């Protein structure tokens, strides 16, 4: 998670220096950065203090789980802002808020010393992941359809962008595929405890399933940033024929 936050912070700095977004556009990028920033203290605290005792473990585990969902609120907003009309952005964000409230209630009810059901936990987190990835998948589907219907359109779009960053209409498809892969790989590594389960003790310091999962999530974070940067650039192309939300 620390890696993901550092990566997100670096991309925010790059965005502010090179793209210089203003107003609502700036808020979308800040929301994207806020996601790992909100979650970071609680996931670090959980992994740092889990060995102290059952009550301490329960408290920090509950905070870690709850803030996974709370962090999804600004992430949903940031991913949706340049894709769908603003009322839909708010509606999707409201869904993330509802899931976060439900997660907070369930996390607070976790008994001290109880083991985590990794499969159930992953399915639960998967719900909010599916919500905030709706704009990414939607845009990728629209672009894929555009590419299939009018294959020559990508070149025209790239020419329209010019020096602000040429792109092809399948860029979002690549981002979406990469994000889905990262989440799938991270989820499978976490649930199966791979490779720890096959070589207990060997990967305690480097290469543990938990580390692989966080690396995968960091990869998803990077791709989410690239997606939003791409959509921001597209939304600022005069006369662009490719539909965007704003």
Grade residue 21 by pLDDT with cuts at 50, 70 and 90: very high
pTM of the model: 0.84
What residues make up the domain containing 42? 2-235
For 164-216, the pLDDT digits (tens) are 344 577 899 999 999 999 999 988 888 888 877 777 776 767 778 878 888 99
Q: How far apart are CA 29 and CA 227, in angstroms?
A: 11
For 43-75, the pLDDT digits (tens) are 888 777 766 777 777 777 788 888 889 999 999
Number of structural domains found in the chain: 1
pLDDT of the residue at 246: 56
Q: How far apart are CA 99 and CA 165, in angstroms?
A: 36
Q: Closest Cα partner for 122 from 185, 76, 28?
A: 185
pLDDT of the residue at 133: 96
Instruction: Name the DSSP class of 22.
Output: -
CA 12 to chain centre: 14
102 in a structural domain: yes
32 in a structural domain: yes
pLDDT of the residue at 158: 43
Q: What is the CATH number of the domain that holds 40?
A: 1.20.1070
246 in a structural domain: no
Q: How far apart are CA 138 and CA 176, in angstroms?
A: 9
């Amino acid at each position: 998670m620390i890696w993901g936050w550092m990566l997100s912070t670096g991309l925010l700095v790059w965005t502010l220096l090179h793209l210089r977004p203003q107003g609502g556009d700036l808020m979308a990028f800040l929301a994207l950065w806020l996601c790992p920033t909100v979650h970071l203290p609680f996931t670090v605290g959980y992994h740092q203090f889990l060995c102290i005792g059952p009550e301490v473990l329960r408290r920090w585990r509950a905070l870690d789980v709850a803030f996974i969902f709370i962090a999804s609120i600004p992430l949903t907003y940031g991913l949706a802002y340049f894709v769908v009309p603003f009322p839909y952005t708010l509606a999707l964000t409201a869904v993330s808020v509802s899931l976060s409230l439900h997660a907070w209630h369930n996390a607070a009810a976790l008994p001290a010393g109880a083991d985590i059901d990794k499969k159930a936990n992953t399915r639960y987190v998967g719900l909010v992941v599916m919500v905030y990835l709706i704009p990414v998948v939607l845009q990728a589907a629209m672009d894929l359809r555009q590419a299939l219907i009018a294959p020559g359109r990508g070149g025209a779009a790239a020419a329209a962008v010019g020096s602000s960053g040429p792109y092809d209409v399948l860029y979002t498809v690549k981002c979406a595929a990469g994000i889905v892969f990262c989440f799938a790989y991270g989820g499978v590594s976490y649930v199966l405890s791979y490779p720890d389960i096959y070589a207990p003790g060997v990967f305690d310091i480097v290469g543990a399933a938990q580390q692989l999962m966080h690396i995968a999530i960091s990869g998803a974070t990077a791709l989410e940033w690239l997606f939003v940067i791409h959509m921001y650039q597209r939304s600022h192309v005069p006369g662009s024929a490719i539909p965007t939300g704003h």
